[in-house]
Structure 1
Amino acid sequence: MAALLLGGAAIGGSPIFVRLSEVGPMATAFWRVALALIPLVAWAWVQNGNVADRRPQRLSDYAALILPGVLLAIDLAAWHLSLTMTSVANATLLANVAPVFVTLASWLLFRSKVSGIFLAGLATAVAGVVVLKGGPAALGGGDLLGDGIAIVAAMFYAGYILAIGQLRSRFSTNRIMIWSTASAAICMLPMTLLAEPELLPPSAFGWAMLFGLAFVSHAGGQVAITYALAYLPPAFSSLTLLLQPVVAAILAWLLLSEPVGLMQAIGGAIVLVGILIARRG
């Protein structure tokens, strides 16, 4: 549970790094996964086989390890595209409804039991994100196509969480993260080269933001969530996604001097209450 919350908080800082990045959204997404390979490979080298870990044996094992990265790459590309087509509030909110798709897919595909208490907690947390974003009235200014692409991003992130959850009973956290992160970087590179003219940031500050995004939000946050998925159900684990706008609002207040209004504070509290209710379920 501690790893899950820590991972959700680490990923919640990603909008700050993205906003301060000196390259475009697609290039930022590429460096997010490409640079994250540095600490992941370094940690694997330090471990040097000290952790019991099954190696992939068949083609299906390799395909299963690559799949989460492909899903994550499509999620990142779709979300960054939606940010350019609809309002930031709409894109962030709709991309954060992935827990709804995770819960639905867990029930349909794996016949996971979903209690009424969990559903009540999920609904409460989603409602908290709506309040945090300014209420229903603030979400009416988006573009319909952009909103749809943000929902597509949420669906692919849900697939990423479910794919990781299926792997955690077979492979170690680090092996899963190296394979999924490398495959995400390989998928993101051609999309980035086609979509944006500049790949490299012009200053040391720009590189610092990319390294922060890669090391803290991806290598730190995704590793913590992947570790937690060995012990907690994917449907509940995906609720940490709803922590991200709460953490982002707090960090924007601390680092960017953006005020946190009463509506945001109430919305953040509702999200936390919803997660606590879901935990009981």
Structure 2
Amino acid sequence: MTALLLGGAAIGGSPIFVRLSEVGPMATAFWRVALALIPLVAWSWFRNAPAGDRRPQQLSDYAMLILPGVFLAIDLAAWHLSLTMTSVANATLLANLAPVFVTLASWALFRAQVSGVFVAGLATAIAGVVILKGGPAGLAAGNLLGDGIAVVAAMFYAGYILAIGKLRSRFDTNRIMIWSTASAAVCMLPMTLVAEPTLFPASAFGWAMLFGLAFVSHAGGQVAITYALAYLPAAFSSLTLLLQPVVAAILAWVLLSEPVGLAQAIGGAIVLVGILIARRG
């Protein structure tokens, strides 16, 4: 549970890094996964393989290790595209609906039991995010196509979480993260070259933001969530997505001097209450 919360908080800082990045959204997404390979591969070299870790042996094993990265690349590309087409509030909220799709898929595909208490907690947390983002009136300024692309991003992130959850019973966290991160980088590179005028930041500050995004939000946050998926259900683990707007609002207040109003504070508190309710379910 601690790893799950730390992972959610680390990923919650990603909007700050993205906002301060000196390259476009697609290029930022590429560097997010490409640079994250540095600590992941370094950790793999310097540690001893844990007991019970197995190597991929069949073609299906390699395919399953690559699949989460493909899902993640499409999720990142769709979310960053939606940010250019609809309001930031809509793109953030709709992309964070992945827990809904994880819950539905867990029930429909894997016959996982979903309690009424968990559903109530999920609904409460989503309501908190809506309030945090300005309420229904604040979400009305979006673009329908952009909103739809943000929902697609949520669906593919749900696929990423479910695929990682299935792999955790067979492979070690670091092995899963290296394969999925590398495949995401390979998928993101051609999209970045087509969509962006430049790939490299112009200053040391720009590189620092990309390294922070890669090391803290991806290598730190995603590793913690992948580790937690060995011990917690995918549906509950995906709820950490709903912590991201709360953490982002707090960091924007502390680092960027963006004020946090009463509605945002109430929305953040409701998100936390919803997650606590879901935990009991």
1:258-269, aligned counterparts within 5 Å? 258-269=258-269
* Amino acid paired to 2:23: V
1:137-152, aligned counterparts within 5 Å? 137-152=137-152
1:45-194, aligned counterparts within 5 Å? 45-194=45-194
> For each residue in 1:198-257, what CA deviation from the matched residue of structure 2 results, as whole angstroms up to 9, or x when unmatched?
000000000000000000000000000000000000000000000000000000000000
- Secondary structure (helix, strand or coil) at the match of 1:269 reads helix
* Alignment RMSD (CA, Å): 0.6
Q: CA deviation at 1:188?
A: 0.1
Q: CA deviation at 1:127?
A: 0.3
Q: CA deviation at 1:48?
A: 3.8
Q: How many residues align?
A: 281
> For each residue in 1:119-177, what CA deviation from the matched residue of structure 2 results, as whole angstroms up to 9, or x when unmatched?
00000000000000010000001000000000000000000000000000000000000
> For each residue in 1:58-96, what CA deviation from the matched residue of structure 2 results, as whole angstroms up to 9, or x when unmatched?
000000000000000000000000000000000000000
* Amino acid paired to 2:250: I
| Structure 1 consecutive aligned stretches of length 4 or more whose deviation exceeds 6 Å | none
Q: TM-score, normalised by structure 1?
A: 0.99
Q: CA deviation at 1:47?
A: 1.0
* Amino acid paired to 2:126: V
Matched, 1:251 2:255: no
Distance 1:29 1:53 in 2: 30
- Secondary structure (helix, strand or coil) at the match of 2:240 reads helix
* Amino acid paired to 1:77: A
Distance 1:144 1:251 in 2: 29
Q: Which residue of 2 aligns with 1:37?
A: 37
* Amino acid paired to 2:184: A
Distance 1:107 1:248 in 2: 30
* Amino acid paired to 1:63: A
Return closer, same or farther for 1:86/1:56 CA change in 2, 3 Å cut-off.
same
Q: Which residue of 1 aligns with 2:279?
A: 279
Unaligned runs of 5+ in 1: none
- Secondary structure (helix, strand or coil) at the match of 1:23 reads coil
Q: TM-score, normalised by structure 2?
A: 0.99
Unaligned runs of 5+ in 2: none
Q: CA deviation at 1:100?
A: 0.2
Distance 1:49 1:107 in 2: 34
Distance 1:196 1:213 in 2: 19
Distance 2:181 2:117 in 1: 34
* Amino acid paired to 1:154: A
Q: Which residue of 2 aligns with 1:196?
A: 196
Q: Percent of aligned positions with the same letter in both sequences?
A: 88
